[in-house]
Amino acid sequence: MLKVASIVGARPQFIKSLPVSIEVRKVCQEVLIHTGQHYDHNMSKIFFEDMGIPEPDYNLEVGSGTHGEQTAQMLTKIEAVLINEKPDIALVYGDTNSTLAGALAASKLHISVAHVEAGLRSFDKRMPEEINRIIADHLSDVLFCPTKTAVDNLRNEGITKGVELVGDVMYDAALLFSGLAEKKSNILQELGLTSKSYLLATIHRSANTDEVENLKALLEAFAESGKTIIFPVHPRTRKVINNAGLHKIIEGTKVRLIDPVGYIDFLALERNAAKILTDSGGVQKEAFFFAIPCITLRDTTEWVETVESGWNVLVHVDKNLILKQIAEFNPEGEPAKLFGDGKAAFYIAQRLTSL
């Protein structure tokens, strides 16, 4: 039986990996490697508990650090696991340092690399994620693309061999868990919220957290909007807020900082929000899936389809533009079906068995 080493390390990858693992384990032997990139309970273990993701066979416990430090540690530890396990294929997801390290380690050991969510481009190399996804794509033997735009991006870079348009595994996960979220989650009651009475915000990109002035502008926009804004705070973001004294900006306002929540609760918060403000690629897509207007706190996006369809708008850190879009951005109708049929994980598993 084909042996697949699946490499994950960050919250979005835990979510993407579950529908794929379900299908892969029907036809292959899977070894699950968690790099430990996200190690806080609310960013990591809670997802395995919440969603029934199989417990990792290896937790490398790399933790935080500079990009160089973190990637180097991952590269060393992933290499050791791959030498020990001798998989036929290394399966990497998305665009994190775990993705880059997994693709590098496997390719140097002459292990085939398959990249889920291949072909995405923001065309902004200031983003570490852009560097990671470009390198991973150029090292990969099989490239699972979520959209036709992704296929076109790869073709423009001369990559045509091994490219597969399968749809988006995040759409698979959203379909799998959104009904469960409505039934099981009590997060709205716990926070004293009613549907469409609040905005949901997430901030975690380094351009918005490492640049204190950018984070300050975003919090000022949230505070001045006068809206109830629920803001589950990434540990790195909270550290910057506390160290820079930015919590004073939102004192006495309707902005509520809460700890990160599990995926089931987060889906419930997304589905019931009036609008979403985010710098996350995954959250942009989930907003689109659920027909929630999305205000993206970046000046580029790898999910251009969501903008072109009218359900997503880019504002970067322009406070006045953010306030304008909070007040006025109200797309109508239903989003187009741009991300496949919800069977991307099945197609991925079937393709792997043909290698």
Integer Cα distance of 1 and 137 in angstroms: 26
Answer yes or no: do 130 and 225 share one domain: no
Strands (E), the chain: 3-8, 29-34, 58-59, 89-93, 112-116, 142-145, 163-165, 199-202, 229-232, 255-258, 275-278, 294-296, 312-314
What's the token pair of residue 320?
Answer: 């006045």
Answer yes or no: do 322 and 346 share one domain: no
What's the token pair of residue 25?
Answer: 């384990």
Q: Are 305 and 338 in contact (CB under 8 A)?
A: yes
Is residue 333 situated within a structural domain? Answer: no
- Counted residue by residue, the chain has a size of 355
Q: Are 51 and 264 in contact (CB under 8 A)?
A: yes
Ranked by mean pLDDT, the top range of 49-58, 141-150, 206-215 is: 141-150
Q: Are 60 and 77 in contact (CB under 8 A)?
A: yes
Residue 121: what residue type?
A: R
Structural domain boundaries, residue 253: 176-328
Integer Cα distance of 287 and 303 in angstroms: 12
Answer yes or no: do 21 and 116 share one domain: yes
Of the ranges 7-11, 254-258, 349-353, which one carries the lowest mean pLDDT score? 7-11
Answer yes or no: do 186 and 279 share one domain: yes
Is residue 129 situated within a structural domain? Answer: yes
pLDDT at 48: 59
Is residue 44 situated within a structural domain? Answer: yes
* pLDDT over threshold 90, residue 89: yes
Answer yes or no: do 187 and 231 share one domain: yes
Per-residue pLDDT tens digits for 277-336:
999 999 999 999 999 999 999 999 999 999 999 999 999 999 999 999 999 999 999 999
Which single residue is written with the structure tokens 């204190």? 212
CATH code of the domain in which 26 resides:
3.40.50.2000
pLDDT at 41: 45
pLDDT at 51: 64
Answer yes or no: do 142 and 226 share one domain: no
Is residue 335 situated within a structural domain? Answer: no
Is residue 334 situated within a structural domain? Answer: no
Question: Which member of 34, 38, 115, 204 is catalytic?
Answer: 204
Answer yes or no: do 106 and 185 share one domain: no
pLDDT at 231: 98
SS3 state at 307:
helix
Q: Are 268 and 187 in contact (CB under 8 A)?
A: yes
Integer Cα distance of 177 and 51 in angstroms: 8
Helix, strand, coil distribution of the chain in percent, nearest 5: 50, 15, 35
Answer yes or no: do 151 and 191 share one domain: no
Q: Residue 204 catalytic? A: yes
Answer yes or no: do 63 and 119 share one domain: yes
Tally Cβ neighbours within 10 Å of residue 136. Answer: 27
H or E element that contains 171: helix 169-184
Please state the rounded mean pLDDT for residues 226-244.
93
Answer yes or no: do 55 and 22 share one domain: yes
pLDDT at 46: 55
Please state the rounded mean pLDDT for residues 19-31.
96
Is residue 243 situated within a structural domain? Answer: yes
Answer yes or no: do 202 and 250 share one domain: yes
Tally Cβ neighbours within 10 Å of residue 238. Answer: 16
Answer yes or no: do 193 and 277 share one domain: yes
How many domains are there within the chain? 2
Is residue 25 situated within a structural domain? Answer: yes
Q: Are 209 and 234 in contact (CB under 8 A)?
A: yes
**6 φ, ψ to 5°?**
-95, 125
Span between the terminal Cα atoms of the chain, in Å = 12
Per-residue pLDDT tens digits for 110-164:
999 999 999 999 999 999 999 999 999 999 999 999 999 999 999 999 999 999 9
Percent of the chain past pLDDT 90, that is, above it, reads 79
Is residue 130 situated within a structural domain? Answer: yes
Integer Cα distance of 31 and 1 in angstroms: 13
